[in-house]
Amino acid sequence: MMMLNMWIMIFMMFLFGNMIFVGKHKHLLIVLMSLEFIILSIFFFLMLYLMSVDYNMYMLMVFLVFSVCEGVLGLSILVSMIRTHGNDYFQSFNLI
């Protein structure tokens, strides 16, 4: 019963992260935070799955490295966008 509650909680985290990602798409910072929340739920899923099949946790370290690289790339885009346009609204600048 406890494992079922954990799986449901992880699925709800993933679902809420996707709902925030789709609903609040006007600000880059909120989009980045929702992506990190989705990555956190995927990390919990992988950890729970690998613990249930008695597998080693080296793949989690690789996943964490890639998620940190994704976060750093998103923050660098946010900083360059704020420096050039003054805010993080997607509607305030022209992509063309």
pLDDT in tens, 43-77: 999 999 988 888 888 889 999 999 999 999 988 98
Partnered with residue 89 across adjacent β-strands are 27
Residue 15's pLDDT is 95
The two three-digit tokens of residue 31, written as one number = 């989009």
Burial code (b: 16+ CB inside 10 Å, e: under 16) for 55-83 equals eeeeeeeebeeebeeeeeebeeebeebee
The DSSP line for 9-31 is HHHHHHHHHHHHHHHTTTBHHHH
- Average pLDDT of the chain to the nearest whole number: 86
Contact 50, 60 (CB under 8 A): yes
Domains of the chain: 2-85 (1.10.287)
Residues 6+ apart with CB under 8 A from 56: 50
Question: Percentage of the chain with pLDDT > 90?
Answer: 43
pLDDT in tens, 3-57: 888 889 999 999 999 999 898 878 888 888 999 999 999 999 999 998 888 888 8
Q: How confident is the model at residue 92 (pLDDT cuts 50, 70, 90)?
A: low
